[in-house]
Amino acid sequence: MPEVIRCAVYTRKSTEDGLEQDFNSLDAQFEACAAYVASQKAEGWLLSPSRYDDGGLSGGTLERPAVTRLLADIEAGKIDRIVVYKIDRLTRSLSDFAKIVDKLDAVGASFVSVTQSFNTATSMGRLTLNMLLSFAQFEREVTAERIRDKIAASKRKGLWMGGSVPFGYQPDGRTLSIDETEAPIIRKIYEMYMDSGSVRAVTEQADSLGFKTRLMTLSDGRTKGGKAFARGHIYQILTNPIYRGQIRHKEQVFEGQHEAIVDPPRWEEVQQRLQDQAARERAVGNGRHSSPLAGKLFDDTGDKLTPSHTSKNGKRIRYYISRRLVIGIKKNKADAWRLPASALEDGIGQIIAGHISKPSFLMDLVKDLAASEIETMSKGLGLLKAEMNKPNNAFAWANLLRRADLEQGKITLRLCRKALAEALDIPVDRIDSRARTFSAPFQHRKRGVETKIILGEAKPFFDTILIKNIDAAQKWYAALRQGQTLKQIADASDIRQSRIRQMIGLAFLAPDILQSILDGNQPINFTSQWVKHNPIPADWDKQRDVVAAL
pLDDT digits (tens, 9 = 90+) for 465-507: 888 888 888 888 888 888 888 888 888 888 888 888 888 888 8
Residue 366 reports pLDDT greater than 50: yes
Strands (E), 323-468: 338-340, 401-407, 410-415, 437-440, 442-447, 450-455
Domain ranges of the chain: 5-149, 169-284, 297-455, 464-548
3-state secondary structure of 462: coil
5-149 — its CATH code?
Answer: 3.40.50.1390
CA 3, chain centre distance (Å): 48
Task: Give dist(CA 392, CA 408) in Å, integer.
Answer: 24
User: Nearest-5° angle of CA 209, CA 211, CA 214?
Assistant: 170
Residue 282 reports pLDDT greater than 70: no
What percent of the chain clears pLDDT 90, i.e. is strictly above it? 14
Residue type for 540, please? Answer: W
Report the mean per-residue pLDDT for the chain: 82
Task: Give dist(CA 386, CA 94) in Å, integer.
Answer: 32
pLDDT for the residue 34: 92
125 DSSP 8-state letter: H
The residue ranking higher by pLDDT, 121 or 24, is 24
Query: Any idea which fold 169-284 has?
Result: Hect, E3 ligase catalytic domain fold (3.90.1750)
Task: Give dist(CA 400, CA 197) in Å, integer.
Answer: 29
